[in-house]
Amino acid sequence: MLERPHLYWTPCATHCVDLMLEDIGKLPMIKNAIKKAIYMNGYIYNHVAVVNMMRRFTNQRNLHRPAVTRFATSFITLAQYHKQKNNLRKMVTSEEWIASKWQKDAGGRKMTSIILQDTFWRNVLYALKLVGPLVKVLRMVDGDKKPAMGYIYEATDRAKEAIAKSFGHKEERYKEAFEIIDKRWDCQLHRPLHAAGYFLNPEIYYDNPEGVSCQEVEKGLYESIQRLVRDEATQDKIMVELDAYKNATGLFGNAMTIRHRKMKSPADWWSCYGSSSPNLKSFAIKVLSLTCSATGCERNWSVFQHLHTKKRNRLA
C-alpha cells in the first residue's frame, strides 16, 4: 500500500461478519446450544427412519439449512430448531417414538432429554436474539441484488440496535457480544471508504441528513476524497458540488430523482441523476460500485478445485 497511496485496502465484509459470528458462538450458553443441536442433527440424519418420523411431525420441514458460511449455517439451523420446538417435543413424547427402538437407544434417550430441556431452548432463544440481526447483515453483504458498499456502515449500527431492543436494552445481556462486534468492526470494517459510501447513499442520506452528517462520517468522506482523487482542483470541485447534493438542488431536487432514491441502487441513481455534479458523480459511482466481499471469487475457486485437483493433474 505504500507504493499505491491513492488506493484503499479493505477486508472481505462477509469474512469479517462471519468472524463476529464465530466469536459470539464461543460464548458458553451459545456454544452449549450449538453443540447439542449438532449432536441431534447428526443423530437424526444418520438414521433414515428417524428422519422420516421427524418429517412427519414437522410437515416435511428439515432441521438443517446450509447458509453463506459455516457459522451462519449453525445459527440458521438453531432457528429451524426453534421453529420446530413444539413439533419435536410432540415427536419424542408420541406413542410412535416410545414404541420405537430409538427410545431404548442411548443416543435416542440423550436426544429426548435435550429436546425436553427448558435450558436448551432458553439458550437457543438467547443465541438467536444475539446473532439474528448479524445473519441479516451477512446475507446483505454477500447478496447479488445490490452493491453493499452504501449500506454496510448503517447495517452494523442497525444490527446492534436490534440486538439491544430484543433484550429490552438490558446491557448486561448483550454487553459481551457488543464488545466482540466492536472489536471486529473497529479493526476491519470501520474504514473511511465505508463512511463515504454511507454518506453518498441517497436512500439513507435524505431520510436522516442530520444523523448521517456527523463528524465521524464526514471525516471519512473527506479522507476518501483526498485519497482517491489526487488532483486538488478536482477535489475543490467535488466539495462545491457536494453542497448541491446536501441541499437537494438542481437535478437532485427533481421529482423523479426524489422518487427513485429508494427504487434504484445508489450507483445507478448517481449515474442517472448526477449530471449536474459531474466530478462528484464520478467519485460517488467509483465508491458505491465497489465490492465489499470476496465470496463470489471464492465460489468460483471452489468450483475450479472440483475440476482441477492434484490427483487429476497428475493423471494428465
Tell whether the model's pLDDT for residue 33 goes beyond 50: yes
C-alpha 34/C-alpha 134 separation (Å) is: 17
Tell whether the model's pLDDT for residue 298 goes beyond 60: no
Tell whether the model's pLDDT for residue 305 goes beyond 70: no
Tell whether the model's pLDDT for residue 99 goes beyond 80: yes
Tell whether the model's pLDDT for residue 315 goes beyond 60: no
Tell whether the model's pLDDT for residue 81 goes beyond 90: yes
pLDDT of residue 303: 46
pLDDT of residue 66: 67
Average pLDDT over residues 177-203: 87
* Contact criterion met (CB below 8 Å) for 110 and 39: yes
What letter would DSSP give residue 207?
T
Percentage with pLDDT > 70 across the chain: 89
pLDDT of residue 232: 92
Q: Mean of the per-residue pLDDT values for the chain?
A: 86
Average pLDDT over residues 160-189: 90
φ, ψ for residue 109 (rounded to 5)?
Answer: -65, -40
Average pLDDT over residues 289-303: 62
Nine-digit cell at 248? 437537494
150: confidence class by pLDDT, cuts 50, 70, 90: confident
Average pLDDT over residues 193-198: 90
Tell whether the model's pLDDT for residue 226 goes beyond 60: yes
- What are the tens digits of pLDDT across the range 248-272? 988 899 999 999 999 998 999 999 9
Query: What 3-state DSSP class applies to 312?
Result: helix
Tell whether the model's pLDDT for residue 155 goes beyond 80: yes
C-alpha distance from residue 263 to each of 21, 212, 247, 257, 269 (Å):
31, 20, 20, 10, 9
Tell whether the model's pLDDT for residue 314 goes beyond 50: no
Q: At 278, which amino acid appears?
A: P
Average pLDDT over residues 132-158: 84
Mean pLDDT lowest among 85-89, 169-173, 202-206, 300-304: 300-304
307: confidence class by pLDDT, cuts 50, 70, 90: very low
C-alpha 280/C-alpha 274 separation (Å) is: 8
C-alpha 51/C-alpha 121 separation (Å) is: 21
What letter would DSSP give residue 2?
-
Angle at Cα 270 formed by Cα 149 and Cα 237, nearest 5°?
100
Closest CA to 253 of 243, 244, 241, 262: 244
pLDDT of residue 309: 52
Average pLDDT over residues 146-171: 89
Q: Provide the whole-model pTM.
A: 0.81
What's the number of CA atoms in the CB half-sphere (13 Å) around residue 162? Answer: 16
